[in-house]
Every structure is written in structure tokens, then in C-alpha cells.
Amino acid sequence: MNSISTMITTTTSTTKAATMSESKISARNVQVFYGEKHALRDVNIEIRPRSVTAFIGPSGCGKSTFLRCLNRMNDTIASCRVEGSIGIDGENIYDPKVDPVQLRAKVGMVFQKPNPFPKSIYENVAYGPRIHGLARKKSDLDDIVASALQKAGLWNEVKDRLQESGTGLSGGQQQRLCIARAVAVSPEIILMDEPCSALDPIATAKVEELIHELRSNYTIVIVTHSMQQAARVSQRTAMFHLGLLVEENDTDKMFTNPDDQRTQDYIMGRFG
């Protein structure tokens, strides 16, 4: 609880979330079906603002599915059905009134495999601000691109070659470009789906460092297969198993003294 209170005191811009409730995202009785398959059962979780929450669990446990519910990316899968409610800042994002397109501007996403568009580095970052009309003038757009690249720690590496193709960067740079692309839309939440699984240890370290810095401005939810990564970057950890949210706890407690036997077994490497 101590960490939360310090976080709230450091809050400067988005006071709205803090005043409405302690949690940025609150999921109630979330069920997900892929056709006949019941992929997630009755998930309830509160995710705190301006912190990193890690989802861990064995493959196929539903952690990525749940992550994709948070910005309604599952809408693009025809057979997928979501029940229950997920509130962001107190508003149910599965309410029919909510436009998933606007929701995704607020809840950015970084994917497992770096997926820069086959455009220039500049255009990759400018894409989001353009479609949302965030810049009126070319110079505004330039500023947004520069600041997003700076926040993603990529500026110094690419500032001289903004017009080169984004696909020509190294894997780690591509992933940071994707983070810059997400940041450029000024989201409040950033979802990361195993962002380092395709990267080497050095690139991974850079991305983790970046997550650390982004934490002060964004609510970050990260899915990871690496227990060490979860321990390094997150404050809270949620353990999924067979479509159930098994345990959700402070990361420190989770990795030292978990409440659930299954978490214990998974962390000790007994399954998964």
C-alpha cells in the first residue's frame, strides 16, 4: 500500500483516475469464449494507475487473451465473445456506447513481435497522431514524433535517419519504435504482450529500462513468460492458470511467499 500512496502523491496530470478510485482498470466477472472454448473464467482484478502490473502463467492460460480484452483487440477476432465488465476510469469499455477505436487511443498496445509499418521511422511514429488529429502543423507533429522517440529512448539512435524505413532497424530498435508509436498517441495505459520475447538480452534490458521510466507517466500492463522480467519490472503480479486468475499480489510477495500453491509451483518451475 505504501507504493500506491507515493504514486498518488506524484500524480500531477491525470487526477481524474486517482480521485474516482484507486484503480485504473477494474475487471468484474470477465468471461471470454473463443467459439465453444471457454478461455477465461470469472476474472476479477484491480489494476493500479502509474504502476507496472505483470501477467504471468503457462502458455495458453489466458493472460494474453485478458490483456487483449483491455483495449478490445479481441473484437477483431470474429469467434471471440467477452462477458462481464471492464471499467477504465470507472467507465465500462464493453458498454455499447464505447467506440473501441477511441478506447484504443487511450489504451495503447505493444505486441510480441515488433511490427513496425513498412514506412519511414518518422511516419511510423506520426501515424497515430495523424489519424487522431493531434497535430495541426507540421512542426507540432515533428515535436510529437521527437518527444515520443525520446521517451522510447530511441531518439539518439535514429534522429539522423528519420526518413529511413522502420523495418530496417534491429529487432530491439524496432520494438522501441513500436513503443514510441504507442506513446505518440498519449495513451494513459500501455499494454505489452510479451514485448521482449523476440529480443536478445541486451535489447531486452533496454526495453525493461524503458518500462521503468514510462511507469511514472503511464499505467503499464505487461504479459511475460519470464519470471525474472516480471520480478524486475513490475510492482504487482497476476498469475493465470487454465483460464483462471489464480492469484494477484504485490510482486515482492508473489515471488517470495505466494498465497497459492499453483503460483508456488509455477514460480519454482514445477510446471508450465
Contacts with other proteins, residue ranges (CB under 8 A): 71, 73, 76, 78, 101-106, 108-111, 113, 115-119, 127-128, 131-132, 167, 178, 181-182, 185
Q: How far is the CB of 220 from other proteins (least distance, A)?
A: 14
Give the nearer residue to other proteins in terms of CB position, either 76 or 156. Answer: 76
Cell numbers for 229:
522480467
Quick one: 60 or 168, whose CB is closer to other proteins? 168
R_g over Cα of the chain: 18
CB of 193 to other proteins, least distance (A): 9
**Nearest distance from C-beta of residue 123 to other proteins, angstroms:** 9
Angle in degrees, CA 190, 68, 182, rounded to 5: 30
Q: Which one, 148 or 246, has the nearer CB to other proteins? A: 148
> Residue 258 CB: number of other CB atoms within 10 A?
20
DSSP 76: G
Q: What residues does 54 pair with on adjacent strands?
A: 222, 237
- Minimal distance in Å, beta carbon 124 to other proteins? 9
Identify which of residues 175 and 235 has a Cβ nearer to other proteins in the complex. 175
Asked if residue 175 lies in contact with residue 208, where contact means CB atoms within 8 angstroms, the answer is no
Q: How far is the CB of 118 from other proteins (least distance, A)?
A: 5
CB of 266 to other proteins, least distance (A): 28
Show the DSSP H helices in the chain as ranges. 2-10, 15-20, 63-69, 100-106, 121-131, 138-151, 155-158, 171-183, 201-214, 227-233, 251-256, 261-267
Strand-pairing partners, residue 190, are 108, 220
User: Closer CB to other proteins, residue 128 or residue 243?
Assistant: 128
Helices (H), 24-137: 63-69, 100-106, 121-131
Q: Could you count the other beta carbons within 10 Å of the beta carbon of residue 215?
A: 18
Nearest CB to other proteins, comparing residues 61 and 103: 103
Least distance CB 110 / other proteins (angstroms): 8
Phi, psi (deg, nearest 5) at residue 25? -120, 135
- Considering the complex, state which of residue 183 and residue 239 has its C-beta at the smaller distance from other proteins: 183
| DSSP SS3 for 40 | strand
Q: Provide, rounded to whole angstroms, the least separation between the CB of residue 167 and other proteins.
A: 7
How far apart CA 139 and CA 259 sit, in angstroms, is 53
Question: Which residue number, 132 or 225, has a Cβ lying nearer to other proteins?
Answer: 132
Cβ–Cβ < 8 Å for 189, 70: yes
